[in-house]
Structure 1
Amino acid sequence: MIRALLTLFALSISASAFELPKKSTQCVVGVAKDWNSSHVTLTAYEKKGQKWVKALGPWPGRLGKSGLIWGKGLHPNPSGAKLKKEGDWKAPAGVFHIGGAWGYDASIRKHRKLFYRQITKRDLWVEDSASPSYNRHLVLDHDPSTAWEKKQQMRQGDHAHSLKLFVAHNAPPAITPGGGSAIFFHIWRRGGASPTAGCTTIEESRLRQLIAWIDPGKQPVYVLLPKSEYDAKRSAWKLP
């Protein structure tokens, strides 16, 4: 009994003690109406001294068709909470590192330190949870030939995925098989009329603005939460 109480106490201390990393001075905040919403309002902030100052937005965006669920990132998850799984059509909620961009263009406007790769037909992002390369970017040394390789291709002739910024949910080095993969900011569909499978989508010109603003040296993070959770955690987590 004592051991169980101590464990619960340690977990509560850990959860309450969490706050945004001190070296993270860029933060994109996404607030949804509730856990079931596929709509989000996005605002980017930069820290000036001890104060968060709005840099971009607010912008409308879209989330997973089935709303949100706790993801695997920097934040502590509530005890017993259901977590994101592959194929659940939910966007991962929490706090995540962001960075690394992929696109169809030969080059884009970006910070010189931000990784960018032009996607070719040999670029894969593995969404097969049984693969040892799950939720990782791979570059083949040959053109895709098998059905499996073709299914993992990043370039599918889809404009919505012609530019994307990585959200580090369930990311290396601690990847949980089946815990959700390929979470990005990317271009929305049908002028924002369509939800996603779990990504966050915005209008293309705004995505380009966001990518150009991102400075890897400022350790940018993405905070995505329903409004009730954002309001409850804003002070303790030191959110904008």
Structure 2
Amino acid sequence: MRGVRRNAVTTTALGALLLLLGGCGGPGPAHPGSPHTKAADKPADRPTRIPGVGDRLQRRVPADARQVLAVYGDGRDSAAATVVLYAKRGSVWDRVRGWPAHNGKKGWTSDHHEGDRRSPVGVFTLSDAGGVLPDPGARLPYTRSAAIAAPRWWPRSYWHDFDYVIAVDYNRVEGTPPNDQTRPEGYARGGGIWLHLDHGSGTSGCVSVSEAAMRYLLRTLDPDRHPVVVMGDRADLSA
């Protein structure tokens, strides 16, 4: 519900350990990408389907979704990607903005498992957000907690990865803080898949973008518009 804010979360030692084991990070190739783009104005550029997404995944986008965050991976084994936000207006999907991004350092998989360093391909809802920093004006329910912070044994360049996060609803319980460790399909199926701040290389399975992009998404993704993420390498997305 719009405006809902949760109190800071107190995690147990076990929960904190699981978070650190399952958090995103890890070296990968840098990808400078391109600056964000604004929505096209020409009617011919306004598609009635999400660009680059084939029937298999297009059918999985909920009928009531009015915001789609598409993550276009450069290749099945690549950590480089582009994130594009689309908004549905009537029957057409308008491109709102796009950003360079990273995904799992080993690329993508349709059969994600804990520790495979690949991001899961699919369509997932976006229902919860949070981070170490104060709420920047998020529309999604936002949990501020120091327990979300990246572990300090990671390289210093990764320490701010989780200043802002948006939970991808893969193997998690919707309506809980992003660092909730409940995994309905079991721990082996992986979890803790987030959108978070970019450190310049691949992740453990999350999708990372710049701080400016995260702040924009937090202020724009609206639960009343039922946002989802459609993510995968370009070949899988278009199948």
For this structure pair, what is the TM-score category when the shorter chain's length is used for normalisation? 0.5 to 0.7
Name stretches of at least 5 consecutive residues in structure 1 with no aligned partner: 1-14, 71-82, 124-152, 233-240
Report the counterpart of residue 104 of structure 2 in structure 1: 64
**Equivalent residue letter for 1:105:** L
Choose from 117, 123, 130 the match for 1:102. 130
* Pairwise CA RMSD: 2.1
Q: What SS does structure 2 have at the residue aligned with 1:201?
A: strand
Query: Is contact 1:63–1:91 with CA below 8 Å preserved after alignment?
Result: yes
Please tell me whether residue 115 in structure 1 is matched to residue 141 in structure 2.
Answer: yes
Report the counterpart of residue 47 of structure 1 in structure 2: 88
Q: In the TM superposition, what whole-angstrom CA distance separates every residue of 1:135-188 from its partner, at most 9, and x where no partner exists? A: xxxxxxxxxxxxxxxxxx656462111111100111238423310111100001
Please tell me whether residue 211 in structure 1 is matched to residue 218 in structure 2.
Answer: yes
Report the counterpart of residue 184 of structure 1 in structure 2: 194
Q: For residue 16 of structure 1, report the CA deviation from its aligned partner.
A: 8.7
Report the counterpart of residue 4 of structure 1 in structure 2: none
TM-score when scaled to structure 1?
0.66
Please tell me whether residue 18 in structure 1 is matched to residue 62 in structure 2.
Answer: no
Percent of aligned positions with the same letter in both sequences?
A: 27
Please tell me whether residue 195 in structure 1 is matched to residue 202 in structure 2.
Answer: yes
Name the CA distance, whole Å, in 1 between partners of 2:94 and 2:58. Answer: 24
Q: What SS does structure 2 have at the residue aligned with 1:36?
A: coil
Q: In the TM superposition, what whole-angstrom CA distance separates every residue of 1:81-107 from its partner, at most 9, and x where no partner exists? A: xx1110110111111111311112232
Name the CA distance, whole Å, in 2 between partners of 1:95 and 1:163. Answer: 21
Compared CA separation, residues 29 and 17, structure 1 to 2 (3 A): closer
Choose from 98, 115, 119 the match for 1:87. 115
Report the counterpart of residue 225 of structure 1 in structure 2: 232
Query: Is contact 2:57–2:123 with CA below 8 Å preserved after alignment?
Result: no
Query: Is contact 2:121–2:236 with CA below 8 Å preserved after alignment?
Result: no
Compared CA separation, residues 35 and 162, structure 1 to 2 (3 A): same
Q: For residue 19 of structure 1, report the CA deviation from its aligned partner.
A: 3.5
Deviation >4 Å, runs of 4+: none
Name the CA distance, whole Å, in 1 between partners of 2:72 and 2:132. Answer: 29
Name the CA distance, whole Å, in 2 between partners of 1:165 and 1:20. Answer: 19
TM-score when scaled to structure 2?
0.66
